[in-house]
Amino acid sequence: MSPLHTVLIFGVSSIGFLLAFLFIFKRKVAPCRFLLGTILVFGILFNLVLTPGMLPDEYAHIETAYRYSTLLLFKPYATETGGILERRADAPLERFSEFLVPQRKHYSQVLDEFHWFAAQEETELVDVPGRNVDAGIAAYLPAAVGLALGRILHLGTYPMLYLARLCNLLCYLLLLGLALRITPLKKTLFALLGSVPMILQMACSFAYDMPTIGLCFLMTAYLLRLIYGNESLGWKHWLTLCVFSFFTVPCKLVGLSVLVLLFFLPSEKAGGRGKKALLIFTVVFCGLIGFVLSYLSTFTKYLSGMETMASDADNPLGVELYTLGWVFSHPKDSLQIFLHTIRHFFNFYWENMLGGRLSVFEPTVNWCLFLLIVLVLAAMKDPDDQIQLSIKCRFWCFASFAAVFCSTLFSMLFMYTPFGSEVILGVQGRYFLPALPLLFLAIGSENIRLTQKSKQWFAVASATVN
C-alpha cells in the first residue's frame, strides 16, 4: 500500500468518523435513524462507483428485471423465441456483462453514452436474446417498476438503469425501516446488520438479494412482534404471514428459515395448539407453493436427474455436475466434500458476508474483524429491551441459521460444482445475509446489558467502516 493510499484511507475514515460523531453526539440523532440515513448516502455513493453490470451477474438481473418491466407494461414476458422485447436504445442488455472488470474505459463509455431521453425511433421494441433468472416476481419488482417508469418517461438507457437501481435501494430502505419500527427488541442490532458494507454495495444494484434481505428482516421483526406482543392472532395476522411467506420464500428458500420462529409463538395467542399447528402448516405451505411456481422448470430438471450419478452437460456451465442421486448414493463422500469446503472457505464466507471482500473490489484495509466485534457486542442486552430471549429460542435460531448454511452449500453442489471437485464452488457469503439476524439473536447474551452511549458509538463505528 502506497503512502498516498494510506493518507486517503486515513483522511476519508476520519471524515466519516467526525461527521458521524457530529450527528450522533452533537445533534442527538437517534442511532437507528442515523443508520438509515447512512444507508441512503452510501447506497448512492456505491451507485456512482459501480457502473451498471459491474457486480457479479448483474447483467443477468438487469435482463430479468427488464422482462418484468415489459410485463408491467402489458407486453409479453418473453417472445416466442424466449427472448426479451427491448427498446432499440437499450439493446442488447447483455453488453453490460463486459463491465464486470472495472476499467477506465467503462466509466468513459457511460459518460459518452449518457443521454437523458431516448429519441422516438429508439423506443421501438426489438426481439433480443437474453437470460432469465428463476426467482419470484417480488425479488425484481422494485427494479422492474423503475425500468417501467423510465420507459414510460422515455428516459435514456443509463438514466433508466440508475432510476431502477434507486428504486431497489429505496425499497430496501423502506423494508428495513418498517422492520425497525415493528421489532420489539434489538432495534440497533437490526439497523447495524442492515447497513453492513456488503448489503450497501448490493443495495445500489439490480441484485434480487436486496428485496429478499429486506423481506426476511421485516418478516423476522414481525414474527418477534407476534411472539412477544400482547395482541392475539386474528385473520389479518394469518393473511399477513401467508403473504409474507408466498412472496419471500420464492425469492430465496432461506425465507423458510425465518419461519422457524413460528414454533415459539405461544399457543394461547394462536387460539390453542391445534390452531397454532394449522397456522404453521398454512404459512409454510403458502411459501412452498410460491417457491414451486417460481422454480417449476428447475424442479423438473433435478427430479429427472435423481437416478443418475452425475448430470449431463445440459447446464449453463457445460460440464457434469453433482446430483441428488449421487449424494444419496455416496453420503460419506458428500460429507467429506462439505467439510473440505468449510475448511477452505469459512474465512472467505464471513468476510464476504460483512464486506471484507466486495465482489470485484477487495478493500486495502480489512475492517471486517472490527465490524464483527461491533455486531457481536450489539447483540447483547439492549438497554431498551424488556424482553428476555430464552436459551431454547437462541438455540433454535442458531440451528435455523446452520440449516441455511448447509442447504446453501448443498444447493450449489448441484447447481454449480463440476463433478469430481473436492470442494463446493460458487458459494458467496452474501447468500447468508437474509438469515443474519437469526445468527446474532442466537449469540447475544442476556446477562451483558449495554448502555445508550454504547449504541451511539456502534453507529459511529458503522459509518467509519463504511
Instruction: Please write the tens of the pLDDT for every residue from 54-99.
Output: 887 888 888 888 888 988 988 888 787 778 888 888 888 888 888 8
Distance CA 118, CA 125 (A): 13
Which residues pair with residue 128 across a beta bridge? Answer: 84
Task: Please list, residue by residue across 193-217, b when 16 or more beta carbons sit within 10 angstroms of its beta carbon and e when fewer do.
Answer: bbbbbbbbbbbbbbbbbbbbbbbbb
For residue 308, the model assigns a pLDDT of 47
What pLDDT was estimated at residue 413? 84
Model pLDDT, residue 303: 54
Q: Residue 128 carries which side chain, given as an amino acid letter?
A: V
Q: What is the pLDDT of residue 348?
A: 87
What's the confidence (pLDDT) of residue 222? 92
What is the Cα–Cα distance from 209 to 194, expressed in whole angstroms? 12
253 alpha-carbon distance from chain centroid: 12
Alpha carbon distance, N-terminus to C-terminus of the chain = 19
Q: Are 208 and 99 in contact (CB under 8 A)?
A: no
The pLDDT assigned to 300 comes to 58
pLDDT at 83: 83
Q: Which of 444, 339, 354, 353 is nearest to 398 (CA)?
A: 444
Cβ(275)–Cβ(238) under 8 Å?
no
Q: Are 374 and 458 in contact (CB under 8 A)?
A: yes
Q: Scanning the structure block, which residue is given the C-alpha cell 441428488?
A: 324
Q: How far apart are CA 227 and CA 234, in angstroms?
A: 14
Sheet strands (E) in 7-92: 84-87
Is residue 92 reached through a cis peptide bond, with omega within 30 degrees of 0 on the bond before it? yes
Among all chains, which residue has been given the C-alpha cell 447468508? 432
Residue-wise pLDDT for 237-296, tens only, equals 889 999 988 888 887 777 777 888 888 888 888 888 888 899 989 998 988 888 877 766
pTM score, two decimals?
Answer: 0.88
pLDDT by residue for the chain (466 residues), tens only, comes to 678 888 888 888 888 899 999 999 888 888 899 999 999 999 998 888 888 888 878 888 888 888 889 889 888 887 877 788 888 888 888 888 888 777 888 888 888 888 898 888 788 888 888 777 767 778 888 999 999 999 999 998 889 999 999 999 999 999 999 999 999 888 999 999 999 998 988 888 888 888 889 999 999 999 888 888 887 888 888 899 999 888 888 877 777 778 888 888 888 888 888 888 999 899 989 888 888 777 665 555 555 554 444 444 445 555 678 877 788 888 888 889 999 999 999 888 888 888 877 777 777 777 888 888 899 998 888 887 777 788 888 888 888 888 888 888 888 888 788 888 889 988 888 888 988 999 998 988 878 888 888 889 999 999 998 8
Residue 102, SS3 per DSSP: coil
